[in-house]
Amino acid sequence: MLPPLLRIALRNVFRNRRRSLITFSAVFLALGIMVSIRGFLNGLQATLRESVVQGQTGALQVHKAGFLKSVNATLEMSIPSDAAFLAKIAAVPGVKSVTARIMFGGMANANDISTAAMFTAIDPVHEVEVCPRRNDMIYRGKGLRGSGPTAAVLSPELAANLGVKIGQRATVLTGDRDGVMNALDFDVVGEYGQPGLPLPDKKLGFVPLPFAQELLRMEGRATEIAIGIHHYDDAETLKPVLQAALGSEYEVSTWHDIASYVDDAIAMQNFILNLIAGVFLFVALLGITNTMLMSVLERTREIGTMMSVGVRRRQILTLFLLEASVLGLLGGISGALVGGSFVAYYGHKGMVLHIPGSLLPLYVFPTLKLSYILSILAIAAGGAAIAALWPSVRASRMRPVEALSAV
């Protein structure tokens, strides 16, 4: 059975339906928008993280010590990529898959046109074990796996600059690890795009690892080892374990270290969301303050009557605070239900975003944590009580005689 003050508070909330509906609507809209935006942002941020971790970097990477901090990291700072070294990394508990890569720059040539480009050499078989979404970034044509030892996937900008199409041949010229120039022909089999984000480097290409090792005379060597784990959120935990297994000659980095711009973007999004949510919530709570103040003014004689029959001042204060909390909680629950339904529907169906400058669409699946919903409901009820504190204190400080004589 409900306490007497709570029963009276509920009766008073439903007694003046118009005023209560206005306040309810303000909280309802604020909470509904907050939940919907938070769910969408959660899905967007998860998609961006997965796009980077499972499509580009891998959860962890191994380099020669000092490679990432070197201004002019060269092929001389290579590391082994033979089966024994990869097996040593794969034997570390928590490691699921391993692949070697080589990053190098060179001149691409076709149709008497030459242009500078950046190339990434990958193992067509093991790369998708570390980055399962790598093939999702093929915009046109096909990937490297099963396409032959001289296959290449280019960005549309590089292909257009060279004037080559899928099925045509081009040449890459670069210096090997000793500085000696070497050149090899490659066959364009596909074009590469990055879902949701414009490419950071417009002129880039992907070639098979053996192709680059022959071109650069780096048999059994690579510039980085990418590592896949079961849950990429565990990267920070696994990093020191892997570092201890490899020794100080090598440097282990997480995807946070390599793609710190992702964390920066997420932090900025969260800041903007919190700012917007604060504005909506402030407006809603301001409405509660106004509603409760009007209620106090209209119920002055009622307050005087309650005091004259023995109702204590703190009970008057508690009553008005309960009324505000009930309004905030009811509006918050309704808003959270509507916003949560939006998140649940699109979390199952998915949302397709076409971002300007990106060749491929971005698939977002909104999601929410129960802890977030409970926290904003607590904020709605508690904030409503705080917003109503001044009108409630004013009501509790009235003198019975003056209140009863009010018109």
Tell me what pLDDT residue 149 has: 92
Tell me what pLDDT residue 121 has: 94
Q: Can you give the pLDDT of all 407 residues of the chain as single tens digits? A: 567 777 877 787 777 777 778 888 888 888 898 899 999 999 989 988 888 898 889 999 999 998 888 766 678 889 999 999 999 999 999 999 999 999 999 999 998 899 999 999 999 999 999 998 888 788 888 989 888 899 999 988 899 899 999 999 999 999 988 888 999 999 999 988 765 555 555 788 999 999 999 999 999 999 999 999 988 888 999 999 999 999 999 999 999 998 888 889 899 989 998 888 888 888 877 877 777 777 777 777 777 777 777 778 788 788 878 888 888 888 889 999 999 999 999 999 988 887 766 667 778 899 998 898 898 888 888 888 887 777 777 777 777 666 566 54
CA of residue 186 relative to chain centroid, distance: 37
User: Residue written as tokens 């509603």?
Assistant: 291
The pTM assigned to this predicted structure is 0.78
Q: How far apart are CA 304 and CA 322, in angstroms?
A: 19
Total residues belonging to the chain:
407
Tell me what pLDDT residue 205 has: 92
Question: What is the 3-state secondary structure of the chain?
Answer: CCCHHHHHHHHHHHHCHHHHHHHHHHHHHHHHHHHHHHHHHHHHHHHHHHHHHHHHHCCEEEEECCCCCCCCCCHHHCEECCHHHHHHHHCCCCEEEEEEEEEEEEEEEECCEEEEEEEEEECCCCHHHHCCCHHHHEEEECCCCCCCCCEEEECHHHHHHHCCCCCCEEEEEEECCCCCEEEEEEEEEEEECCCCCCCCCCCEEEEEHHHHHHHHCCCCEECEEEEEECCHHHHHHHHHHHHHHHCCCEEEEEHHHHCHHHHHHHHHHHHHHHHHHHHHHHHHHHHHHHHHHHHHHHCHHHHHHHHHCCCCHHHHHHHHHHHHHHHHHHHHHHHHHHHHHHHHHHHHHCEEECCCCCCCCEEECCCCCHHHHHHHHHHHHHHHHHHCHHHHHHHHCCCHHHHHCCC
8 Å CB contact between 167 and 153: no
